[in-house]
A and B are shown apart, each in its own frame.
Chain A
């Protein structure tokens, strides 16, 4: 069965410093992986997705993630945090292809950005 683990429930960085949000996945096949962001009182917005093409995926707002099969990781990074990046971030893995099409969500990481 597919699963995803976000290793940090809370990350705090200073504005202008790098961001690293960690995610490990478990899958019996080559998965599709996503990062979503949720700002307060908003729905989830897609940041980026990996679908077995390039292992380094660039997303919106300067975020990127690298798929590492050997480490079963899909960590999210950004070189320089901005105050507007403060939000909840979800790492997500897809269900098996041709199966239900459901997404399996991590528990989320709260990113705090200090001025």
Chain B
């Protein structure tokens, strides 16, 4: 079975540019999560969706960050304009069920983002 697919795997861009990260969840999963991982702060939940609807975006650091889930099989995380402090690994995860806490999340391999 295909897991969570993220693209691109690596992104290097200059400060001020728009960055779009993409995620395809596992088919049949109806919850989707975006995380950011840095050495300093560890794993941080940015936003999550249930049935394509954003439920909690309290982890989104600033208005420069936005996320969408136009359908059950695709989500984007956009940073505009990007800044060097946004450099991190961004993970997408999906899960069956909504608000069902005993279901594990399945993670993609992440996008390593470097803002110069």
> Which secondary structure characterizes the binding site on chain B?
strand
Say whether B75 faces chain A, with CB atoms less than 8 Å apart.
no
Which of A51, A96, A103, A105 is the one whose CB lies under 8 Å from B42? A105
B4 touches A43 (CB 8 A): yes
Check: B56 CB closer than 8 A to any chain A CB.
yes
One of A44, A99, A107 near B107 (C-beta < 8 A):
A44
A residues in contact with B45, CB < 8 Å: 102-103
Residues in B3-54 with C-beta less than 8 Å from chain A: 4, 31, 33, 42-43, 45, 48, 50
Assembled-state Cα–Cα distance A101/B51 (Å): 13
B92: nearest chain-A partner, CB-CB: A43
Q: Looking at the assembled complex, report how far the CB atom of B49 sits from the nearest CB atom of chain A, in whole angstroms.
A: 11
Residue in B4, B91, B101, B105 whose beta carbon sits within 8 Å of that of A96 in the complex: B101
Report A90 CB to chain B, min CB distance, Å: 7
Q: Closest Cβ of chain B: how far from A109's Cβ, in Å?
A: 12
Contact across chains for B91 and A49 when beta carbons are under 8 A apart:
no
Which of B50, B93, B97, B107 has its CB near the most chain A CB atoms (within 10 A)? B107
Residues of chain A from 78 to 108 with CB closer than 8 A to chain B in the complex: 90, 94-103, 105, 107-108
A-B contact pairs, 25 of them (CB 8 A): A31-B101, A34-B104, A36-B107, A42-B109, A43-B93, A43-B109, A44-B93, A44-B107, A45-B107, A46-B104, A46-B105, A46-B106, A49-B102, A51-B102, A96-B101, A97-B100, A97-B101, A99-B99, A100-B56, A100-B99, A101-B31, A102-B45, A102-B48, A102-B56, A108-B42
Interface residues of B (CB under 8 A from A): 4, 31, 33, 42-43, 45, 48, 50, 55-56, 91, 93, 95, 97-102, 104-110, 112
